[in-house]
Structure 1
């Protein structure tokens, strides 16, 4: 069991929703090394975009031989496959933690071992994250952030429904009962769900983990096969069906993605849903959500005592030149590592963020070790502008639950195959979970067989 202090960081949120890209292989005419970097916030996120631009300008002043071109293009497997093959992808790729294994295996990303190991903070990076990014002496990426799923809930709706805002549900039985109470007492959706863009499969995976299940398993021959056609996943589907069709606590808008639900949640129309509370807080506020109403709770459990973990990683295209690789690591270090490891940088960013209305002090899973995270938390404490106590149940869960990673192979393809299962159960009262799981099992095994 890990202690909360070894996992908890108090960060400045600079999360971005991404979109646009440029070819960056050709050297600049003025002799500068040009790198295109994913991770620039969209124009709709004015405060985060200003912070990015300010940091970009500061980086270029400190490194006059490097030209940074920001891209707000989102990661999408289908979009980036041809871009990586053709050499038109950005230099610095911002990808979810599910992607490194495939990118490394296909040799689409560069080994940054020489440049990364020269960084003073390298040895302090979280080994649980770096295990996905290293092979021997090779280092294929550096982390931006990590997350553990939990419960985001509306404290005002809890109070209106007669529930204690300081005690969100910790079990799925409690979730079901309280979702029904919220719907009946307030007219809001008691429990929101997402089922498109691979989010249905992602949530089905996380919920199965909380029930003690798994998505894939390795056989005696070393091959991966589907493992979700079991009692744990069926319990998830049965509960979805009961909440949707018996309790009427999930509403009828179940075919959305995370951005859609954040908007509804910020508008006070959803009582609770599963997400990373730290990751979505800034977007919630940007969408007009009332900061006082936001609550962060533990990942609800059904006996598994587990929470799905993931993260955001920065990798460099294999097409990058040696100069671009070096420049890319400098940028990643400046933009993402120093603010989480150097107190002086963290304080400067915290001051700037607080002045621009960007949340400071939202509890996050740190990308560095306990000593480093504690040092940063202490340094930025005077500039914290969020109600940390509203995240207390979530923080407490980080030391109590075991962290379970997403499927180690073909995760996004697995999620895509499971989206129709989630959608069917939530849109058709006569859907047959057993049949749906059996069909999905056949589909996923074909995907896994092709990948191995």
Structure 2
């Protein structure tokens, strides 16, 4: 569903503040877009009611449905259920029914379908950074600005965690979690290849030269995983950033301009293609799944991949010794930069429910994101050998206090990667198929011309997505 409102730029190229780095990254996608149209001085559509009043007048029981019931095998299930009980005890006039998300193809489709049918939850914790702007335009997320302005803890959330949900100066989501990406490498494979295990490639040229040393086809070992399946644009956009560009531009009036054919994008796709066909330092099956990429890392076939501050527990659970892993910002490209990507998810509130339920939902989600609850979550993870996300959305929580089993260089790598991070490209959810097609053809057809592929992709995306999107702007 196209937005019926003005959108502004959602892409950030933010150097995170020092306060954020020290407090949020020590261990552990301002965004603008569209908002429902309103007249000056009037309450915007889907705006939260003024905070501060009782949400259960005259002792009225308010019932909420929240999609946050833990899975049976969730190692934190008992603690989460304890949090539920504590909230219930402190709020006797609010009855929360915790449900697991209904089954479906993916979580985003399930949520949108449920909301369209009037069966959505009162609050939802997984409104991902790339999609929240679209959901706001579709009327699926309440404007919580007034709640936020009256929130005692509003200054305790790092600025970058608010960017993707801040649209035309209004806030539509409470940060739930976030991560930063970077280059992850296997130090043992570096040593085996005669390379310094603590020195990853610093630029595109070093990626190639070091990559050739790390590739041993007789042992089915290769240097770097590429992502060529249906999420191919997710990793490819990093190379576009490294080349000095992006895949879309948005002007102050919200008009989108595609930049698939810009010099930086062409350079990025040519380099991506050359890694496969010329340098031969990537996996043989460039269309293999993301999980197969990870399996190659776990089993010592891939020397380097894209890593995340939220994934170290998974790496350890799959048999990797964290002392043998490195994490750093991406190699720089022709632009001289190698930005990381920030991602994550928000708590959002259903704009179609009653004022009382919205107020009760706000009380619930702020309880779940409170300093006390989040610190106890970190402590539980530490006590039970569960590796936490090395990046916290709250300034007043220092994840380094709970990461004694995480090597200091990994923590430092996350901090450094967070120093230059940005959101994914604007309109990603709608433009992914067009970018992916070009990337896949470049990776599977050695004779393909990357500029021609990108021109065709841009023409199709312009006609089928962007023209209608821009025409719908007010």
Per the shorter chain, which TM-score range?
Answer: 0.7 to 0.9
| Compared CA separation, residues 153 and 383, structure 1 to 2 (3 A) | closer
TM-score computed with the length of structure 2 as normaliser: 0.78
Query: 1:92 pairs with 123, 133, 139, which one?
Result: 123
Which position in structure 1 is the counterpart of 2:88?
A: 60
Query: 2:272 pairs with 230, 240, 243, which one?
Result: 240
Which position in structure 1 is the counterpart of 2:324?
A: 293
Please give the alpha-carbon distance, in whole angstroms, between the structure 2 residues aligned to 1:209 and 1:284: 26
Establish whether residue 151 from structure 1 lines up as the match of residue 183 from structure 2.
yes
Which position in structure 2 is the counterpart of 1:251?
A: 283
| Compared CA separation, residues 444 and 391, structure 1 to 2 (3 A) | farther
Establish whether residue 395 from structure 1 lines up as the match of residue 422 from structure 2.
no
| Compared CA separation, residues 135 and 10, structure 1 to 2 (3 A) | closer
Note the C-alpha offset of 1:99.
1.7
| Compared CA separation, residues 68 and 256, structure 1 to 2 (3 A) | farther
Which position in structure 2 is the counterpart of 1:349?
A: 377
Please give the alpha-carbon distance, in whole angstroms, between the structure 1 residues aligned to 2:253 and 2:17: 36
Please give the alpha-carbon distance, in whole angstroms, between the structure 2 residues aligned to 1:10 and 1:404: 15
Which position in structure 2 is the counterpart of 1:6?
A: 20
Note the C-alpha offset of 1:32.
5.5
SS at match of 1:145: strand
SS at match of 2:215: helix
Query: 2:393 pairs with 367, 370, 381, which one?
Result: 367
Query: 2:67 pairs with 31, 37, 41, which one?
Result: 37
| Compared CA separation, residues 391 and 258, structure 1 to 2 (3 A) | farther
Establish whether residue 432 from structure 1 lines up as the match of residue 464 from structure 2.
no
Which position in structure 2 is the counterpart of 1:328?
A: 361
Structural mapping, 1:25-424, within 5 Å: 31=61, 33-38=63-68, 46-64=74-92, 65-72=94-101, 76-93=107-124, 94-134=126-166, 138-184=170-216, 187-197=220-230, 199-218=231-250, 223-275=255-307, 277-304=308-335, 305=337, 306-335=339-368, 337-338=369-370, 342=371, 345-360=373-388, 362-364=389-391, 366-368=392-394, 372-373=395-396, 376-377=397-398, 381=401, 384-399=404-419, 401=420, 403-408=421-426, 410-424=427-441
SS at match of 2:398: helix
Contact 1:35 1:328 in 2 (8 A): no
Once the two structures are superposed, residues 155-195 of structure 1 have per-residue CA deviations (whole angstroms, 9 ceiling, x without a partner) of: 22222222222221221222222222112286423101223
Note the C-alpha offset of 1:227.
0.7
Please give the alpha-carbon distance, in whole angstroms, between the structure 2 residues aligned to 1:242 and 1:53: 51
Note the C-alpha offset of 1:282.
2.2
SS at match of 1:99: helix
Contact 1:157 1:182 in 2 (8 A): yes
SS at match of 1:103: helix
| Compared CA separation, residues 129 and 397, structure 1 to 2 (3 A) | closer
Contact 2:387 2:403 in 1 (8 A): no
SS at match of 1:288: coil
Q: How many residues align?
A: 416
Q: 1 or 2, which has the higher helix percentage?
A: 1
Note the C-alpha offset of 1:118.
3.2
| Compared CA separation, residues 429 and 56, structure 1 to 2 (3 A) | farther
Please give the alpha-carbon distance, in whole angstroms, between the structure 2 residues aligned to 1:101 and 1:115: 19
Please give the alpha-carbon distance, in whole angstroms, between the structure 2 residues aligned to 1:49 and 1:303: 47
Q: Tell me, which stretches of 5 or more residues in structure 2 are unaligned?
A: 1-14, 29-59
Q: CA RMSD in A?
A: 3.0
Rg larger in 1 or in 2?
Answer: 2
Note the C-alpha offset of 1:223.
2.1
Contact 2:260 2:457 in 1 (8 A): no
Contact 2:248 2:256 in 1 (8 A): yes
Please give the alpha-carbon distance, in whole angstroms, between the structure 2 residues aligned to 1:205 and 1:245: 20
TM-score computed with the length of structure 1 as normaliser: 0.81
| Compared CA separation, residues 152 and 66, structure 1 to 2 (3 A) | farther
Note the C-alpha offset of 1:383.
5.6
